[in-house]
Amino acid sequence: MRHVTDEPNSEADVVVVGAGLAGLTATRELKEAGWSVRLLEARERVGGRLKGYSLGDGKAVDLGGEYYGDKSTMIAETARSVGVSGFDTYDQGERLTYLNGRRYGYTGLFPWRMGPAAIADLGQAVLKIERLARTVPPDGPWNAPNAERLDNQTFWSWMQHNLATGTARAFLTMVTEAAYCASPADLSLMHVLYYANASGGFRYLLEISGGIQRYRFDGGAHSIPQKLAAKLPDEVRLGAVVRRIEQRGDSVVASGPGFSVRARWAVVAVPITLAGRIAYEPALPGYRDQLTQRMPAGAAMKCLAVYDEPFWRSAGLSGQITSTDGPFRVAFDTSPADGSPGVMSAFVTGSAARKLTRLTQTERRTAVLDALARALGPRAGKPRDFVEQNWLDEEFTRGCYHGFAPPGLYTTYGQALRAPIGRIHWAGTETGVHQMGSMGGAVDSGRRVARELFARAAIERKDEPGGEAGEPGAPGGAADPVAGPVNHG
């Protein structure tokens, strides 16, 4: 892989901004079809929201995205294509939950001991969510029947009307914060349903075995973008912070400090909030800017505690800990496949992340380790290594797992998510259809954007004097149907 300073000025058919899974997938598809591509990445590494941490002995764990399930077909295909295989997430033994200060041990999805009224209440609510989620089409949630009703309320308001017990509300709030990295009051009901349906179902989203957390990747999910990038040595340019994208007649120029790339088309594959922070010339239409103004990233930090062995397993515990209060909403056993060393990953999400991000690193470490020790015993308070990844602080991510929608967004500006503007096309997991928000959504968006460009190129070739419809996938000719004033359609 090369650094942008090796070749500060260059030209290509397409310039792609952001070497996460979405940008890498688009680049691979375009390259395979014979296009020239420059993939500009701000960081000195690829992978974006996929990042690894070395445990020594050639083993590594994930500080970012990690899990997938049987319905995660696209990320599984991508992994297979670069020789990365998966293994079962550890899911044996008792789970623990701390609900309003009380500790419950349980197996299955819900802690049955929280009481029959709360369990029945939770069960009916999950069924309702599941049913509603199926009415929200992942390729256009704004087309759902009752779209306005679903989009004009927060998940919090829905919970007030549809749950009778405080215990069930507290449990569902915790689950929401763990899965969406936002509080129910932040989220449009439609976003909750959309993400659930795109993922494979609401229950599926929460489950380990039989759910979206069923598998992990050997060597870590972060090894997938690394392997994709290794096959794109001439395309990837590290250290390239794109600050400006100019559309000029039949070309587009992406530039940043000390570099500039001219291309026929641009693909922007950065988190949606950050796409709004790039300067565009001419300025983007208001509806697109209003979209990026309104789509914040969730709040999450991931903390890893490393032990000589996963000692909780011999005590009959699965390592899954959930909590309505305290520093994390959920923690999992994320030891390597052979169980050595023992690793616990704590997900500090939603309201917990907002609180903890203001503490010092030492205070955060103490809070997380105290909570692990409360659940797993004093040994958990003394790891041999501890690392925290605060995704809020990352300049080129600014939160995770994905950008979410507050009420009223999808039904007003949602259609701007994927609509190209002139020569600029949009990728990134937030624009995915299959498993939007997850690794699969990023792959899906990279494939879709490549198809969009193949189709445009075919049209341009047809429009050339004496031209014929081009082969889908062939790089475009000289003529440009959107040359001149930028087509904001």
Is residue 428 near ligand FAD by the rule CB under 6 A? yes
Give the interface segment with ligand FAD, choosing from 87-95, 137-145, 417-425, 439-447 (CB under 6 A): 439-447
Is residue 343 near ligand FAD by the rule CB under 6 A? no
Nearer to ligand FAD, 302 or 423 (CB): 302
Nearer to ligand FAD, 274 or 369 (CB): 274
β-pairing verdict for 9-17 and 37-40 = parallel
- Supply 298's token pair: 């969730």
Is residue 448 near ligand FAD by the rule CB under 6 A? no
Q: Which amino acid is at 124?
A: Q
Is residue 268 near ligand FAD by the rule CB under 6 A? no
List 122, 242, 353, 392, residue binding ligand FAD (CB under 6 A): 242
List 15, 125, 263, 269, residue binding ligand FAD (CB under 6 A): 269
d(CA 77, CA 70): 11
Is residue 18 near ligand FAD by the rule CB under 6 A? yes
Number of chain positions touching ligand FAD (CB under 6 A): 42
Shortest Cβ 347–ligand FAD spacing (Å): 7
Which residue from 426, 431, 438 is spatially nearest to 401, judged by alpha carbons? 438
Nearer to ligand FAD, 23 or 350 (CB): 23
Is residue 69 near ligand FAD by the rule CB under 6 A? no
Is residue 350 near ligand FAD by the rule CB under 6 A? no
Shortest Cβ 356–ligand FAD spacing (Å): 14
Is residue 429 near ligand FAD by the rule CB under 6 A? yes
Shortest Cβ 330–ligand FAD spacing (Å): 11
Nearer to ligand FAD, 145 or 283 (CB): 283
CB of 238 closer than 8 Å to CB of 1: yes
Is residue 19 near ligand FAD by the rule CB under 6 A? yes
Restricted to residues 73-132, the positions that interact with ligand FAD (CB under 6 A) are: none
Shortest Cβ 17–ligand FAD spacing (Å): 5
Angle 123-353-339 from CA coordinates, rounded to 5°: 75
Nearer to ligand FAD, 44 or 57 (CB): 44
How many CA atoms lie within 13 Å of 321's alpha carbon, on the beta-carbon side? 29
List 205, 261, 274, 291, residue binding ligand FAD (CB under 6 A): 274
Give the interface segment with ligand FAD, choosing from 11-19, 91-99, 105-113, 172-180 (CB under 6 A): 11-19
Is residue 447 near ligand FAD by the rule CB under 6 A? no
Nearer to ligand FAD, 53 or 158 (CB): 53
Is residue 375 near ligand FAD by the rule CB under 6 A? no
Is residue 49 near ligand FAD by the rule CB under 6 A? yes
Where along the sequence are the contacts to ligand FAD (CB under 6 A)?
17-23, 40-43, 48-50, 64-68, 240-242, 269-271, 274, 278, 300, 302, 391, 396-397, 400-402, 428-429, 437-439, 441-442
